[in-house]
């Protein structure tokens, strides 16, 4: 038996069965989003994600039991062309999986565009983190200036909805070498989204670049985006990069979660995306 503790939950693995217990945050909402995702994907894209086995909303803590997805997480090692292609194939299948008549009844995922923008304005109203250096503070200023201008601009049309897993962490994408495919896990923040936003969620997640080895350009080239999606992808990447800069600039120097200089690297990344 293996047991792993995360920020919101613990995971216990017994053979081919995984038990996930939700311990922090809005545990019922986390559980409901996970269970909804597992049942939808099991019905419309079986094998892509864990199969749902049981749910107990009244347990203390609330619990979901699911099948174990074989494979090794992509995070922490270079993602070669074979894995990159398999990841794109898995995501394309996931985005297309849920029929439109079911998808429109799925709530929008947490921290989608409007929610992120509101959160950024709240964070910006606070004092800058004392540990943030001049380069980080300047990038935050430039990012918020861009966001203020974007808020006043017209959005480039309505994006086509897809089902989004809601978490770009490469640890949630498992490479099964025997089958040469990627499985997807962790759907606590899943829901209705759009393809450009979900791709930005992955490309701008700190796990994709802090360790190196994830070719963003090659990954995005796997998707046939139309002109509207490409324009939206650029805007969403900027939005997610600004979000990560706020998060990383607030890292506690006494107990850092990332290597030294990560916030400064993120500041440079944001300024490059802003052009």
pLDDT of res. 203: 97
The answer to whether the CB of 60 falls within 8 A of the CB of 23 is no
72-274 to CATH, choices 3.40.190.10, 3.90.1200.10, 3.40.50.20, 3.40.190.170: 3.90.1200.10
Q: Helix and strand tally (H, E) in the chain?
A: 9, 10
The pTM assigned to this predicted structure is 0.93
* pLDDT tens readout for residues 115-146: 999 999 999 988 766 667 899 999 999 999 99
2-67 falls under which CATH superfamily? Phosphorylase Kinase; domain 1 (3.30.200.20)
What is the length of the chain?
A: 275
Q: Parallel, antiparallel, or unpaired for β 72-73 and 173-176?
A: antiparallel
For the chain, the structural domain boundaries read: 2-67, 72-274
Phi, psi for 173 (deg, rounded to 5): -115, 115
Instruction: Write out the two tokens for 41.
Output: 């994907």
Q: What is the mean pLDDT of residues 257-262?
A: 86
The answer to whether the CB of 128 falls within 8 A of the CB of 135 is no
Beta sheet of 52-56, edge-to-edge order: 2-5, 9-14, 17-22, 63-67, 52-56
* pLDDT tens readout for residues 69-90: 999 999 988 999 999 999 999 9
pLDDT surpassing 70 at residue 212: yes
């Amino acid at each position: 038996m293996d047991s792993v503790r995360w920020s919101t939950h613990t995971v216990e693995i017994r053979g081919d069965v995984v038990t996930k217990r939700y311990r922090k945050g809005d545990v019922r909402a986390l559980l409901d989003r996970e269970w909804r995702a597992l049942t939808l994907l099991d019905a419309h894209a079986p094998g892509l994600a864990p199969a749902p086995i049981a749910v107990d909303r009244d347990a203390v803590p609330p619990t979901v039991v699911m099948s174990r997805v074989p494979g090794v997480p992509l995070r922490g090692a270079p993602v070669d062309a074979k894995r990159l292609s398999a990841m794109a194939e898995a995501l394309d299948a996931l985005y297309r999986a849920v029929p439109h008549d079911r998808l429109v009844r799925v709530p929008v995922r947490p921290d989608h565009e409007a929610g992120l923008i509101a959160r950024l304005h709240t964070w910006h109203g606070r004092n800058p983190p004392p540990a943030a250096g001049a380069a980080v503070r300047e990038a935050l200023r430039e990012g918020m200036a861009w966001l203020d201008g974007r808020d006043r601009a017209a959005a480039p049309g309505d994006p086509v909805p897809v089902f989004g897993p809601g978490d770009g962490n490469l640890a949630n994408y498992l490479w099964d070498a025997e089958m040469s495919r990627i499985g997807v896990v962790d759907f606590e923040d899943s829901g209705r989204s759009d393809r450009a936003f979900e791709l930005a969620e992955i490309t701008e997640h700190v796990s994709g670049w802090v360790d190196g080895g994830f070719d963003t350009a090659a990954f995005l080239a796997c998707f046939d985006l139309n002109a509207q999606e490409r324009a939206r992808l650029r805007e969403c990447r900027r939005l997610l990069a600004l979000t990560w800069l706020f998060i990383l600039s607030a890292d506690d120097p006494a107990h850092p979660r990332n290597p030294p200089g990560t916030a400064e690297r993120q500041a440079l990344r944001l300024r490059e995306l802003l052009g």
